[in-house]
């Protein structure tokens, strides 16, 4: 590549995670949040092919299909939502869910939808280069196939690939320190990637087989002890089916954390709540002032004219940490049990108490706690470098958009891993752990939490890669013509 640059207004970033694709076009003085967000799944109607269809036909099947579905056969985004809502027989696939690309046609269908349906680009008049951030550790063949797909199928003007943990890390660093450890809490998996001197340490990367959905099921289980909630969701005179009740409890759990009503407990706080027992909220709530106290968030003006007895009762309610949420047309009051939402991350053995959890296949449930696993991952780094890695602990993932303090909570639980030699004078002994967050000077992200770090980091790298005429940070069309898909192995930031 020589002397090729692009206008910032045409640069495209596509951040592809296991479960979400976020995208945007244009680099501005204030780096913007993604303009597009779609689930990373596609659907296929049962009627697409005659007979039962499977992308991986089973050996026992008597039917064999020589045809494979085309990109245009798949339903994506609003098309998929509409098909499901109308009751059509649709099978849903998640091509990135296992941390790889399990089906290239499905992946192409998703990226095509993002580029041409959502960002409104035109293939024939494509002027945009694309920076794709994607899961780390893909094979060389996979990187080459990505390059071929974007040039041949989408006609992009330039292409670069970036490992997602590096994108996330770039969003949080403020100095020249390029070592740390990224903890990405996803829907069903938690990915832990150590970084040393600007490169991911692939042989130490670890994935835990639990995530947000497990926390949702755990809180749903705890809410069964909340008499007020159960009376509302499962009235004795008209109880729902067990599976409907479970779905309602999980949906309530999801609403609670996404409304920012959960905090991360310090070590030991969960035990205190458990010892207190679950209060029979229905018995302590009465109409009038106490409900008003809860809804007003204990604002002083609500108590200004209250009697001493009323103020004492209000303080009692406040100590119980009650909140009222609107759910499916019901007003439900929750207590401190909601703050135990994140407990399975720190002690996944709690999940084995959940009814039905044993139904998961043997080996699918991790018993490794998040703090111990992070400590183990960093422990695989050369001893001389560990102290630098501990100076960049960054916790990200959608959870951190709504629940604050995950980094600090994990930091506290990691103390044993840096205090193993408190009296020693070894210069390489880590003395502290530094928690990173997205800096406040990224104004568009200031109130968004740290879950958008990958898209922000992709924007930062795209701004450097596609506007530097002296570097070789992306594959141009000329590079692709001359060198083919293998050009990406030399001209994309930090994928090898």
SS3 62: coil
Q: What is the dihedral of CA 359, 363, 367, 368, to 10 degrees?
A: -150
Q: Which residues make beta-bridge pairs with 208?
A: 190
pLDDT the model gives residue 280: 54
User: Within 13 A of 185's CA, how many CA atoms are on the CB side?
Assistant: 27
**Whole-angstrom Cα distance, residue 360 to residue 6?**
49
Q: Tell me how far apart the terminal alpha carbons of the chain are, to the nearest angstrom.
A: 19
Q: What is the pTM of this model?
A: 0.87
- Give the pLDDT confidence of 108-165 residue by residue, as tens digits: 999 999 999 999 999 999 999 999 999 998 999 999 999 999 999 999 999 999 999 9
Domains contained in the chain, CATH given: 8-38+112-173+442-491 (3.30.420.40), 42-93 (no CATH), 177-209+366-435 (3.30.420.40), 212-285+322-350 (no CATH)
Lowest-confidence range among 83-87, 145-149, 181-185, 266-270?
266-270
Percent pLDDT > 90 in the chain is 68
Query: Distance between CA atoms of 334 and 271, rounded to whole angstroms?
Result: 18
Residue 15, token pair as written in the block: 């951040």
pLDDT digits (tens, 9 = 90+) for 285-343: 543 444 554 555 545 545 556 677 777 766 666 677 889 999 999 999 999 999 999 99
The pLDDT of residue 308 is 77
Tokens of 476: 């141009």
Nearest to 366, CA basis, from 381, 354, 342, 350: 350
For 342-400, write each residue's pLDDT tens digit.
999 999 999 988 887 654 544 556 789 999 999 999 999 999 899 999 999 999 999 99
How far apart, in whole angstroms, are the C-alpha atoms of residue 200 and residue 117?
34
Distances (CA, A) of 365 to 98, 142, 285, 361: 15, 28, 39, 8
Q: Is the dihedral of CA 382, 384, 385, 388 positive or negative?
A: positive
């Amino acid at each position: 590549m020589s002397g090729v640059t692009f206008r910032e207004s045409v640069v495209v970033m596509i951040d592809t995670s296991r479960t979400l694709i976020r995208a945007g076009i244009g680099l501005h003085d204030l780096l913007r949040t993604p303009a597009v967000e779609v689930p990373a799944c596609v659907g296929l109607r049962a009627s697409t092919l005659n007979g039962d269809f499977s992308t991986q036909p089973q050996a026992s099947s008597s039917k064999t299909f020589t045809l494979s579905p085309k990109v245009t056969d798949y339903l994506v985004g609003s098309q998929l939502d509409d098909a499901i809502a109308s009751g059509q027989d649709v099978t849903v696939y998640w091509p990135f869910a296992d941390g790889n690309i399990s089906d290239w046609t499905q992946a192409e269908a998703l990226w095509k939808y993002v580029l041409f349906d959502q960002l409104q680009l035109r293939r024939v008049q494509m002027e945009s280069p694309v920076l794709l951030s994607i899961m780390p550790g893909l094979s060389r063949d996979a990187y080459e196939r990505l390059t071929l797909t974007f040039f041949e199928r989408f006609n992009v003007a330039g292409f670069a690939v970036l490992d997602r943990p590096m994108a996330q890390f770039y969003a949080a660093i403020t100095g020249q320190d390029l070592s740390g450890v990224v903890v990405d809490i996803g829907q069903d998996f938690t990915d832990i990637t150590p970084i040393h001197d600007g490169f991911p340490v692939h042989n130490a990367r670890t994935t835990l087989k639990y995530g947000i959905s497990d926390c949702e099921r755990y809180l749903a289980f705890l809410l069964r002890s909340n008499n007020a909630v159960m009376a509302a969701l499962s009235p004795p005179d008209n109880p729902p089916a067990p599976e409907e009740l479970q779905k309602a409890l999980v949906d309530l759990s999801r609403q609670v954390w996404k409304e920012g009503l959960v905090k991360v407990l310090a070590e030991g706080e969960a035990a205190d709540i458990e010892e207190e027992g679950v209060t029979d909220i229905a018995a302590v709530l009465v109409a009038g002032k106490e409900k008003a106290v809860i809804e007003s968030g204990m604002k002083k003006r609500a108590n200004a004219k209250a009697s001493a007895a009323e103020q004492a009762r209000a303080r009692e309610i406040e100590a119980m940490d009650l909140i009222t949420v609107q759910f499916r047309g019901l007003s439900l009051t929750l207590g401190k049990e909601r703050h135990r939402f994140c407990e399975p991350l720190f002690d996944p053995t709690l999940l084995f108490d959940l009814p039905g959890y044993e139904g998961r296949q043997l080996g699918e449930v991790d018993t490794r706690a998040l703090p111990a696993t992070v400590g183990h991952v960093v422990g695989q780094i050369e001893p001389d470098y560990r102290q630098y890695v501990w100076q960049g602990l960054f916790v990200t993932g959608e959870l951190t958009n709504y629940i604050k303090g995950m980094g600090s909570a994990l930091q506290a639980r990691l103390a044993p891993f840096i205090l193993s030699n408190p009296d020693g004078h070894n210069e390489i002994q880590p003395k502290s752990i530094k928690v990173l967050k997205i800096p406040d000077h990224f104004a568009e992200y200031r109130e968004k939490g740290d879950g958008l770090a990958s898209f922000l980091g992709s924007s930062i790298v795209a701004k450097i890669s596609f506007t530097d005429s002296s570097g070789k940070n992306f594959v141009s069309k000329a590079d692709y013509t001359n060198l083919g898909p293998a050009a990406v192995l030399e001209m994309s930031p930090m994928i090898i």
